[in-house]
Amino acid sequence: MSEPESPTSVSAVHAPETASPVGSRGAPVIAAWLRDLIVSLAISAFIIVFLYQPVKVEGTSMTPSLADQERIFVNKFVYRLEPIERGDIVVFRYPRDPSKSFIKRVIGVGGDRIRIDDGQAYVNGKALDEDYVSPAYADQRSFSEMLVPPRCYFVLGDHRNMSNDSRDFGPVAAEYIYGKAVFGYWPMDKMGRVR
């Protein structure tokens, strides 16, 4: 008497046929995923290198506008399309040590006459309305009138009594400025356009 065939022997015969289509479908899925990942990384690299750069603020010289350890995006392309203006918050290489970066507010542009009397800044003889400088952070420091050279910018920190700025190192040449602070993203309560 012959023994009946085991059901497992039948499924074992069909196992190789069902395994190959699964393997062949997995390869295109992985390839598509890798392609999308590479494209996403390339776009991100382009944005960071040429357009926007994330930056961490270190120090309190821009308080209350920007706090210590706040994270912001800097637009590195904007000044190719438009001029640097008074009131812009710019990121630049420190003139006395270009390996360091500073962030300050532009008070005067090339051709402006700047002076500070007992903490009040004057541009071309007119008192500057600086609502971004809190009375708690103002100082009484004076600065003799100077003419800002062409393609240079006079910059000050918003926390005047804690800022190393153009009163100390002079105007900043245009080639040292590499971006404009545009958007804060951390902490969440400060998320939004930088003013």
Catalytic pick among 61, 65, 163, 166? 61
Q: What is the CATH number of the domain that holds 83?
A: 2.10.109.10
Average pLDDT over residues 55-81: 94
Q: Are 77 and 158 found together in one domain?
A: yes
Grade residue 124 by pLDDT with cuts at 50, 70 and 90: very high
Residue 65 pLDDT: 93
Tell which wins on pLDDT, 142 or 47: 142
Residue 50 pLDDT: 62
Residue entry with tokens 């590499």: 178
Strands, E assignment, 20-112: 52-56, 71-75, 89-93, 101-109
Are residues 104 and 61 in contact, defined by beta-carbon separation less than 8 angstroms?
A: yes
What percentage of the chain exceeds 70 in pLDDT? 84
Domain edge (last residue) among 52, 67, 82: 52
Q: Are 111 and 39 found together in one domain?
A: no
Residue 54 pLDDT: 87
Domain count, the chain: 2
Whether 65 sits among the annotated catalytic residues: the reply is no
Residue 47 pLDDT: 65
Q: Are 3 and 84 found together in one domain?
A: no
How many C-beta atoms surround the C-beta of residue 186 within 10 A? Answer: 13
Residue 2 pLDDT: 42
Which domain range does residue 80 map to? 57-193
Average pLDDT over residues 162-185: 96
Q: Are 62 and 37 found together in one domain?
A: no
Residue 48 pLDDT: 61
Q: What is the pLDDT of the chain when averaged over all its residues?
A: 86
Q: Are 124 and 171 found together in one domain?
A: yes
Domain edge (last residue) among 52, 73, 95: 52
Residue 144 pLDDT: 97
Residue 10 pLDDT: 36
- How many Cα atoms sit within 13 Å of 98 on the Cβ side? 6
Residue 89 pLDDT: 98
Q: Are 14 and 89 found together in one domain?
A: no
Question: What is the Cα–Cα distance from 53 to 46, expressed in whole angstroms?
Answer: 10
In the predicted model, is pLDDT for residue 7 greater than 90?
no
Q: Are 108 and 157 found together in one domain?
A: yes
- Tokens at 27, concatenated: 């390869």
Catalytic pick among 65, 104, 163, 166? 104
Question: What is the Cα–Cα distance from 104 to 82, expressed in whole angstroms?
Answer: 18
Whether 104 sits among the annotated catalytic residues: the reply is yes
Grade residue 27 by pLDDT with cuts at 50, 70 and 90: confident
Grade residue 52 by pLDDT with cuts at 50, 70 and 90: confident
